[in-house]
């Protein structure tokens, strides 16, 4: 209430929490927030639970034509984004001058979205969501001059073993996965889903009314009202689906269960 707030001396008030912040460096800032402006992430963005800013890498270009790329040394197809331009864009995201040295340990990690990166996992997503935010570097063309990736010790992250036309859709995927874990974004129901993935198993199947549809009945156990039987059925289904669809996850789950 306003009355009680006004009785608290300003110096005694806790500092306002800084929301989880994402900065995206891209040649296509119009791609953001894109789907993240809708649904859970969009509402959380409007509510100030997280912040998103996009930096147009082209704004760091210095010539009349706003050039950001050049042909690769050694020949070959495509164009490579220039180290000096990308460096200036990254420095700006960290509020540093264009020629600055990278900070030893930046508060927000710099992630470079690339099919060459380590595969993004739920464990990495959880760690990123618990931190202050991320700075995401999206590449286009054939790639980015390796020297700027090395200088900033950027963490290369892939969202799957396929090649996208650029890092932007991958950045949207990474942000979606992080934002849904921020406190207050999902209800209790979402946290339960998160726990089920944490256990290393895929989700069991879901059903709702009507109980019969096109001659297909809902599994009888789900109508039984017997919570122990329902839990056992769901567990068995989660195990079966994980075994059938993702033998790799199933092997990891089995190994973890054996250790416990
Ligand atoms: N850029 C192009 N393909 C990608 C992928 N699979 N993951 C991350 N960034 C990418």
pLDDT tens-digit series, residues 106-161: 999 999 999 999 999 999 999 999 999 999 999 987 899 999 999 999 999 999 99
Checking if the pLDDT of 192 tops 60, the result is no
At residue 8, the pLDDT reads 59
DSSP string across 75-119? --SS-EE-HHHHHHHHHHHTT--TTPPPPSS-SSPEEEEEEEEEE
The Cβ-side half-sphere exposure at 151, using a 13 Å CA radius, reads: 16
User: What is the Cα–Cα distance from 25 to 32, expressed in whole angstroms?
Assistant: 11
Full-model pTM? 0.91
Provide CB contacts within 8 A for 71, sequence distance 6+: 79, 80
Looking at residue 199, its pLDDT comes to 80
Domain ranges of the chain: 20-179, 196-259
Is the model's pLDDT at 18 over the cut of 60?
yes
Assess whether pLDDT exceeds 70 at residue 1.
Answer: no
Q: How many CB atoms lie within 10 A of CB 57?
A: 29
Q: Smallest Cα–Cα separation from 85: which of 113, 55, 41? A: 55
Q: Does the domain at residues 20-179 carry the CATH identifier 3.40.1280.10?
A: yes
pLDDT at 14 over 50: yes
- At residue 190 the predicted structure's pLDDT band, cuts being 50, 70 and 90, is low
- Counting ligand 1 atoms within 8 A of each CB, the residue from 124, 169, 173, 177 with the most, and so the one to mutate, is 169
Provide the mean pLDDT of the chain: 93
| pLDDT of res. 66 | 97
252 lines ligand 1 (CB under 6 A): no
Residue 189 has pLDDT above 60, yes or no: no
- In this predicted model, what pLDDT tens digit does every residue of 47-67 receive, in sequence order? 999 999 999 999 999 999 999
170 within ligand 1 shell (Cβ under 6 A): yes
The Å distance, Cα 10 to ligand 1 centre, comes to 47
Residues 82-93 have pLDDT tens digits of 999 999 999 999
Q: Tell whether ligand 1 has an atom less than 6 A from the beta carbon of residue 160.
A: yes
DSSP 8-state secondary structure symbol assigned to residue 60: G
The reply to whether ligand 1 has any atom less than 6 angstroms from the CB of 138 is: no
Instruction: Determine what percent of the chain is predicted with pLDDT higher than 70.
Output: 92
Name the helix (H) or strand (E) containing 69.
Answer: strand 69-70
The residue nearest atom 7 of ligand 1, judged by CA position, is 158
- Total residues belonging to the chain: 260
Q: Encode pLDDT of 227-256 as tens digits.
A: 999 999 999 999 999 999 999 999 999 999
Mutate to test the pocket of ligand 1, among 142, 157, 160 (most ligand atoms within 8 A of CB): 160
**Does ligand 1 come within 6 angstroms of the Cβ of 55?**
no
The contacts of residue 157 (CB under 8 Å, 6+ apart) are 111, 112, 113, 114, 117, 118, 120, 124, 170, 174
Q: If DSSP codes are grouped into helix, strand and coil, which group holds residue 128?
A: helix
CATH architecture of 196-259: Orthogonal Bundle (1.10)
Which atom of ligand 1 is closest in space to residue 157's alpha carbon? 8
Cα angle, residue 247 at apex, residues 193 and 253 outer, rounded to 5°: 55
Query: Which residues are within 8 A (CB) of 62 and not within 5 positions of it... i.e. 6 or more apart?
Result: 85
The answer to whether 20-179 and 196-259 have equal CATH topology is no
Residue 83: its pLDDT value, please? 98
- The residue whose C-alpha atom lies closest to atom 6 belonging to ligand 1 is 115
Give the per-residue pLDDT at 195: 60
Q: Which of 86, 113, 133, 248 is nearest to 173 (CA)?
A: 113
| Mean pLDDT lowest among 18-22, 77-81, 186-190 | 186-190
């Amino acid at each position: 209430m306003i009355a009680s707030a006004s009785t608290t001396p300003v110096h005694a008030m806790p500092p306002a929490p800084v929301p989880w912040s994402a900065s995206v460096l891209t040649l296509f800032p119009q791609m953001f927030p894109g789907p993240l402006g809708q649904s859970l992430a969009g509402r959380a963005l409007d509510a100030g639970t997280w912040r998103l800013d996009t930096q147009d890498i082209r704004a760091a270009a210095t010539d009349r034509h706003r050039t950001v790329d050049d042909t690769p040394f050694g020949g070959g197809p495509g164009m490579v984004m220039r180290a000096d331009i990308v460096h200036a864009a990254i420095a700006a995201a960290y509020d540093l001058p264009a020629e600055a040295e990278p900070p030893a340990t930046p508060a927000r990690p710099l992630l470079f979205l690339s099919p060459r990166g380590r595969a993004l996992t739920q464990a990495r997503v959880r760690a990123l969501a618990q931190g202050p935010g991320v700075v995401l570097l999206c590449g286009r063309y054939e790639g980015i001059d390796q020297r700027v990736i090395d200088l900033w010790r950027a963490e290369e992250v892939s969202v799957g073993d396929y090649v996208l036309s650029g890092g932007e859709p991958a950045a949207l995927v990474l942000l979606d996965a992080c934002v849904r874990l921020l406190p207050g974004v999902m209800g209790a129901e979402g946290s339960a889903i998160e726990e089920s993935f944490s256990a290393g198993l895929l989700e069991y199947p879901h059903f709702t009314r009507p109980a019969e549809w096109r001659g297909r009945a809902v599994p009888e156990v789900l109508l039984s009202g017997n919570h122990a039987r329902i839990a056992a059925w769901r567990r068995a289904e989660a195990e079966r689906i994980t075994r059938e669809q993702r033998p790799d996850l199933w092997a990891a789950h089995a190994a973890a269960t054996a250790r416990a």
